[in-house]
């Protein structure tokens, strides 16, 4: 995992911590972060197979590591399933992780945070959580749960559920219906091949959607109604076209390692807050792009490396980091960065990667230093 992901994790973890101000909620989270580092949650995309040498420029967030909490004590058996721990210090949390469980134990009604990760669970029976309607966090990742062994409405009564972790299972479809309260949905590393347009219907509070490392070949208009969505990770799938209808609130879009060869005109214009776009390791060509596809003033970082581009696409002067290595680019067009080159008009670009193309250093025009005066790294 490179430094950029680590910095993004730190930033989002800082955001998550700020959402819980009650003393009890902070106490359980402090303890869990300290005791369960080996199975801690990754709030940002993680790319185990990615070995690219460059560094993405996400700004670091303040250190959010919690102070050590008090040691838990085993609650009386009548308050907690015998397979789990329910520390009285954190009365709304139940720890059933990493215990070779093959089934879901009973969840007491007082629970808000329940952890079943790193087990051997294959099924979720109908009504498994009907008694625990106060649940806010539900961790089921790193199990063997199959879609056909899940009740049709297992999450329907969880009206307060905000985070659902089901990554690293055997799911072949997105669980549905999901609570409207959901804010984070983690479904990476499953076997999902298609996401119907109504699969996430009504999730207006969803801010982060993780679907990387699946077999998704079609998204349709799934994202259109997700008006609060800030981050969507669809990397390492089988997409041949970009998903329709990006949300207006979107800030981070990850589509690398797919088979996308074209992008519609004005595709990014509907998301005026979009900051980071990753589309490396696709099949993009200049013929599949309009003149101003990436000329969006909000985008700060754009990764188009390892595609089939022959020319540098036109980008906004606000762009700060552009990765184009591993393409077929054979010319350095200064107009891609500056429509006018003078003292007052210049690009804010800081990092430009053009190595691994068909271009020689001599192709750089003499006015490039004036246009790219902010650049600290230019690799050709």
Q: Is the peptide bond before 345 cis (omega within 30 degrees of 0)?
A: no
Instruction: Give which of 53, 45, 49 is closest to 12, Cα–Cα.
Output: 45
pLDDT band, very low/low/confident/very high, at 342 (cuts 50, 70, 90):
confident
CB 304 within 8 A of CB 324: yes
* 379 has a pLDDT exceeding 90: yes
Residue 99, Cβ neighbours under 10 Å: how many? Answer: 15
Residue-wise pLDDT for 46-63, tens only, equals: 333 433 333 333 333 333
Average pLDDT over residues 55-77: 38
CB 308 within 8 A of CB 335: no
Residue-wise pLDDT for 280-337, tens only, equals: 999 999 999 998 999 999 999 999 999 999 999 999 999 999 999 999 999 999 999 9
pLDDT score for 305:
98
pLDDT score for 352:
97
Q: Give phi and psi for 258, each to the nearest 5.
A: -130, -160
Rg (CA), the chain: 23
pLDDT band, very low/low/confident/very high, at 101 (cuts 50, 70, 90):
very high
* The pTM of the whole model exceeds 0.85: no
* 77 has a pLDDT exceeding 80: no
E strands, the chain, are: 93-95, 113-115, 137-139, 163-165, 184-186, 208-210, 231-233, 252-254, 276-278, 301-303, 321-323, 351-353, 377-379
User: Which residue ranges form the domains of the chain, and what is each CATH number?
Assistant: 91-260 (3.80.10.10)
Which two structure tokens, joined as six digits, stand for 208?
């982060």
Tokens 């025009």: give the residue. Answer: 365
pLDDT band, very low/low/confident/very high, at 340 (cuts 50, 70, 90):
confident
């Amino acid at each position: 995992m490179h430094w950029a992901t680590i910095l993004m994790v730190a930033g989002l973890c800082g955001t998550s911590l700020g959402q819980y101000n009650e003393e009890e909620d902070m106490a359980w989270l402090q303890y869990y972060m300290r005791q369960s580092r080996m199975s801690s949650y990754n709030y940002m995309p993680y790319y185990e197979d990615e070995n690219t040498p460059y560094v993405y420029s996400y700004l670091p967030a303040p250190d959010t590591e919690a102070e050590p909490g008090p040691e838990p004590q085993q609650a009386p058996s009548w308050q907690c399933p015998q397979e789990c721990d329910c520390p009285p210090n954190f009365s709304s949390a139940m720890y059933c992780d990493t215990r070779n469980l093959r089934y879901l134990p009973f969840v007491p009604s007082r629970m808000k945070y329940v952890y079943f990760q790193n087990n051997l669970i294959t099924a979720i029976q109908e009504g498994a959580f009907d008694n625990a309607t106060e649940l806010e966090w539900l961790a089921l990742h790193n199990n063997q749960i199959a879609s056909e062994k899940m009740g049709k409405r297992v999450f329907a009564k969880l009206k307060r559920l905000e985070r659902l972790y089901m990554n690293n299972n055997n799911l072949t479809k997105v669980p549905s219906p999901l609570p409207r309260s959901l804010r984070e949905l983690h479904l990476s590393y499953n076997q999902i091949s298609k996401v119907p347009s109504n699969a996430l219907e009504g999730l207006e509070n969803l801010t982060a959607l993780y679907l990387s490392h699946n077999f998704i070949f079609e998204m349709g208009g799934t994202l259109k109604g997700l008006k609060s969505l800030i981050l969507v990770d669809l990397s390492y799938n089988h997409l041949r076209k970009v998903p329709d209808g990006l949300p207006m609130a979107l800030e981070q879009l990850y589509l690398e390692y797919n088979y996308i060869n074209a992008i519609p005109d004005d595709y990014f214009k509907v998301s005026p807050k979009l900051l980071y776009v990753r589309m490396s390791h696709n099949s993009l060509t200049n013929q599949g792009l309009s003149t101003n596809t990436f000329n969006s003033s909000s985008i700060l970082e754009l990764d188009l490396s390892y595609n089939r581009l022959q020319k540098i696409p036109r980008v906004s002067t606000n762009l700060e980091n552009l990765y184009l290595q591993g393409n077929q680019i054979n010319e350095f067009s200064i107009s891609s960065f500056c429509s006018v080159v003078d003292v007052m008009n210049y690009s804010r670009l800081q990092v430009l990667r053009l190595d691994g193309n068909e271009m020689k250093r001599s192709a750089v025009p003499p006015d490039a230093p004036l246009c790219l005066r902010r650049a600290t790294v230019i690799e050709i």
